[in-house]
């Protein structure tokens, strides 16, 4: 018969072990310049580290240099802080490669970048259209098609929100200042860790459940925005001038997107905006259990 005292000791022992594993799971090696010390640090991490990390989150990239791919570290760090395991998806037009990678991830982040070619929403380019990367457009649209075929959870950020809208039949203002001028500045010069304009989150939306209802100061780095909302989506946040700042899919799809950069605010210590990434990790964890068993 195990008496109460023994039960208490066992509970405390399990509690301490759990927190030790959680601490080790976030172990960072830091800067080491001696090979033996580096190997010792790696070995000191628990063998079951990979099992204690969260779902694998694919992160889209920019084309960089001669056919290279890159993504700002703020996106990567926000996924890690939220408990996910980020993997950068190389920019390629090889559908087999993208398909193979999406078979191995549990969620997807579509990051920011260049203007979307207006041909994808059947418009002629205006003079104020900025840099377009047609290979990046095809890559992002391929990611969206293959990810939604798999019912993968998606988080779109800035350009990511815009190209999701285009992918499902919506359109964009090609240049806000000339096509939808307002007093709200949508391109800040202050660092991305600083919010510079207000957004109102629509109560009853998933975004309101994630952030809480009401108003938030967000950062802003865009001159385009959603004009006609794609069918099957709803607006979840707007700036004071009515510019769409958040959308989410209705029913079947599993897509949430924002025009601002929560990863930049997270980089400045914003724990409320971290909840946007924690929501993606939660959705990815559910996907992993239900769709990839």
Ligand X SMILES: N[C@@H](CCC(=O)NCCCC(=O)O)C(=O)O
Q: Which residues bind ligand X (CB under 6 A)?
A: 72, 111-115, 158-159, 221-224, 261
Q: Which CB atom, from 55 or from 118, has the smaller least distance to ligand X?
A: 118
Q: Cα(231)–Cα(52) distance, rounded to whole angstroms?
A: 39
At closest approach, how far in Å is the CB of 172 from ligand X? 8
E strand map for 163-243: 172-173, 197-201, 214-218, 225-226, 233-239
Q: Which CB atom, from 75 or from 216, has the smaller least distance to ligand X?
A: 75
Q: Write the CA distances from 263 to 82, 163, 166, 198, integer angstroms.
A: 11, 18, 23, 17
At closest approach, how far in Å is the CB of 200 from ligand X? 20
At closest approach, how far in Å is the CB of 75 from ligand X? 7
Selecting among 186, 197, 222, 261, the annotated active-site residue is 261
- For this structure, is 19 an active site residue? no
Q: Which CB atom, from 107 or from 113, has the smaller least distance to ligand X?
A: 113
User: Which residue in this structure is represented by tokens 């939660």?
Assistant: 282
At closest approach, how far in Å is the CB of 60 from ligand X? 10
Looking at beta carbons, which residue is closest to ligand X? 112
Selecting among 161, 186, 263, 282, the annotated active-site residue is 263
Of 264, 226, 290, 289, nearest to 75 by C-alpha is 264
At closest approach, how far in Å is the CB of 91 from ligand X? 13
User: Which residue in this structure is represented by tokens 């799971």?
Assistant: 25
Structure tokens of 10? 């066992």
Q: Which CB atom, from 208 or from 235, has the smaller least distance to ligand X?
A: 235
- For this structure, is 261 an active site residue? yes
Q: Cα(157)–Cα(109) distance, rounded to whole angstroms?
A: 8
Q: Cα(186)–Cα(260) distance, rounded to whole angstroms?
A: 9
Cβ burial, residue 181 (10 Å; 0-12/13-18/19+): exposed
Selecting among 158, 161, 245, 282, the annotated active-site residue is 158
Q: Which CB atom, from 218 or from 282, has the smaller least distance to ligand X?
A: 218
Residues in Cβ contact with 95 at an 8 Å cutoff, skipping those fewer than 6 apart: 142, 146
Determine the distance from the C-alpha atom of residue 83 to the mean position of all C-alpha atoms in its chain, rounded to a whole number: 13
Catalytic residues: 158, 261, 263
């Amino acid at each position: 018969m195990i008496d109460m005292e023994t039960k208490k000791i066992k509970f405390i022992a399990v509690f301490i072990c759990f927190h030790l594993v959680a601490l080790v799971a976030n172990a960072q090696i830091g800067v080491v310049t001696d090979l033996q010390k580096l190997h010792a640090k790696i070995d000191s991490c628990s063998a079951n580290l990979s099992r204690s990390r969260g779902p694998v989150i694919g992160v889209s990239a920019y084309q960089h240099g001669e056919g290279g791919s890159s993504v700002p570290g703020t996106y990567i760090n926000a996924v890690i802080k939220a408990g996910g395991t980020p993997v950068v998806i190389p920019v390629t037009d090889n559908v087999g490669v993208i398909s193979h990678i999406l078979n191995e991830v549990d969620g997807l982040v579509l990051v920011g970048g260049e203007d979307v070619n207006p041909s994808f929403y059947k418009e002629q380019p205006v003079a104020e259209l900025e840099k377009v990367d047609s290979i990046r457009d095809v890559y992002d649209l391929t990611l969206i098609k293959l990810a939604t075929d798999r019912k993968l959870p998606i988080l779109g950020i800035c350009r990511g929100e815009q190209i999701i809208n285009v992918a499902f039949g919506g359109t964009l203002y090609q240049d806000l200042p000339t096509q939808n001028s307002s007093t709200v500045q949508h391109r800040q010069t202050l660092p991305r860790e600083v919010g510079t304009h207000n957004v109102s989150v629509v109560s009853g939306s998933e975004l309101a459940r994630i952030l809480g209802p009401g108003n938030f100061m967000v950062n802003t780095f865009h001159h385009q925005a959603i004009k006609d909302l794609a069918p099957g989506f709803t607006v979840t946040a707007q700036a004071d001038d009515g510019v769409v700042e958040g959308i989410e899919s209705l029913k079947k799809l599993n897509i949430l997107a924002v025009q601002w950069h929560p990863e930049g605010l997270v980089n400045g210590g914003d724990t409320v905006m971290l909840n946007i990434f924690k929501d993606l990790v939660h959705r990815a964890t559910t996907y992993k259990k239900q769709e990839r068993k």
